[in-house]
A and B are shown apart, each in its own frame.
Chain A
Amino acid sequence: MSVDLGDTGEAVRRGMLAAHPTLSRFSPLPRILTYDDFNAGTNGWTELIGNYDGNGNLSTVDDHMRDFRPPQLSNCTFFDTGTHGALTGTYALKLATRPYVGHTAVAIRRLTMARKGLVQLETYFTYKAEATLGGDASNNSFGGITWDGNLHPSEAQFGAFTVATDICGDGGMRYHTVMRYRNTTVDNKLDQRWVYPVVPEPTPREHLEGKAKLTYGADFTAPDPADWHAASDPMGMCFNEVPTKVNWHYLRWLIDTDARRNVELQVNDTVLDLSDVPVPVYSERYDSLENLLNFYFSVRTHSGVRNFLYLDSVLVSVDW
């Protein structure tokens, strides 16, 4: 049944949230489905992998979906100052790419829907490119940024991070809602827009049917950069100059699984109305996925420098 607390109940709920030292920084819908602070484990966030054959032969996994890297519990330690720690407690969930152009790391959390309606994901996150150590003067410039004591080339070495869903219901109707912060374009120029794909993600079944074949390092969410459209103007973040300073950002993303729509995205003080952002549905129906409700985060390097996405905490809430 859906949550209907009434005016008094809602006031009590808001008062209890406001007084709660941990939850006060969130704005959850009436029912909290999951809350992860990563100080006691990965809480179900695990590496995504493509599908394999009946013999468990992992050579049958699509090349672009076979190496999304295991998530890590990180205390955010850096070469210059040691342990930074997370926003809450010591540990954050860390997604790390390989140092390979186009490589993507993906962590997924797998749920199902007990009902349809509003679903909201909130997180405190930060992102960094791996620090470069050495004596090469050319490392002071990258992607149009030259170190000037304030801006640092590391910022242009970070590609993009993505928050997305994989949802299926109503007899196999499957779709993704996807929001990506494209820090740089694939040619390493600062872009800093929120973008969304206008095509559904290529699936293992489509590969098996000969409809799609992507290479290692391809963008698994939507491989053609032209299929990513802007949802915002350029929007600077607090990268904080160098690759070893961590500032946590707030993100709140609301979708509607009843209408199969995006609703809105808040990132710190910016709220984007996503009601006009399309949600492409697969033309074919999928079995074995009824009421699927998956969330994933990904991080992709466009520079070949390892890229990291850190999640201090993630809260998923619903109105059902």
Chain B
Amino acid sequence: MRHAQTAVLERGETFTGEFATEPYEVAWAGEARFFVQTVDGAPGTTATLTTQLSPDGLTWADADDTAPVEMATTAAGMVTWRVREFGGWLRLRGEVHGAGSGPEQGPRLRIYLVAKE
């Protein structure tokens, strides 16, 4: 059997502006897939989601063969994309556009990382 593991990296936080998920170790995995779900939308907002890689969990570079994903976050919905040959760590760098400055004015996002041997 192949080992597989789902990590919930964010569970419905409200995001405004720039953010990055916590470092997650996936050296054991050969393939992975992000799922980013808008739990509660925010009017007029979009998000840019960039896959990032790291050799040590400290220093990060954008993935060389995975384009940033643009996501509408005005209403409930979900986007997903695959990642391969990523080394030892994965995280997402994100930026929410169009949100007001208040703490509750951005979309609530749930971010899953599904890794498989």
A residues contacting B by CB (< 8 A) are 40-42, 47, 58-59, 66-67, 69-70, 72-75, 77-79, 83, 90-91, 94, 96, 98, 130-131, 133
Contact = CB atoms under 8 A, between A and B. Distances in A.
Quick one: which of B12, B22, B23, B59 has the most chain A CB within 10 A?
A: B22
Chain B: number of interface residues, binned into ranges? 10 to 19
A66 B28 contact: no
Q: Is the interface of B mostly helix, strand, loop or mixed?
A: loop
A77 B12 contact: no
B12 A58 contact: yes
Given A47-B8, A70-B8, 7 more contacts: A41-B5, A72-B25, A74-B25, A79-B55, A79-B58, A91-B28, A130-B57
Contacts of A130: 57-58
7 contacts: A47-B8, A66-B11, A69-B22, A77-B25, A77-B55, A77-B56, A96-B23
A66 B25 CA distance: 21
B5 A75 contact: no
B5 A42 contact: yes
A66 B12 CA distance: 10
Contacts of A67: 11
Shortest beta-carbon contacts, A-B, top 9: A70-B7, A79-B56, A72-B25, A74-B25, A75-B27, A41-B3, A58-B12, A73-B28, A77-B88
Given A66-B11, A70-B8, A91-B28, A78 B22 contact: no
Contact of B25 (A40, A58, A94): A94
A240 B96 CA distance: 42
Contacts of B56: 77-79
A174 to B, nearest CB: 26
A266 B5 CA distance: 33
B83 interface: no
Contacts of A42: 5
B9 interface: yes
B60 interface: no
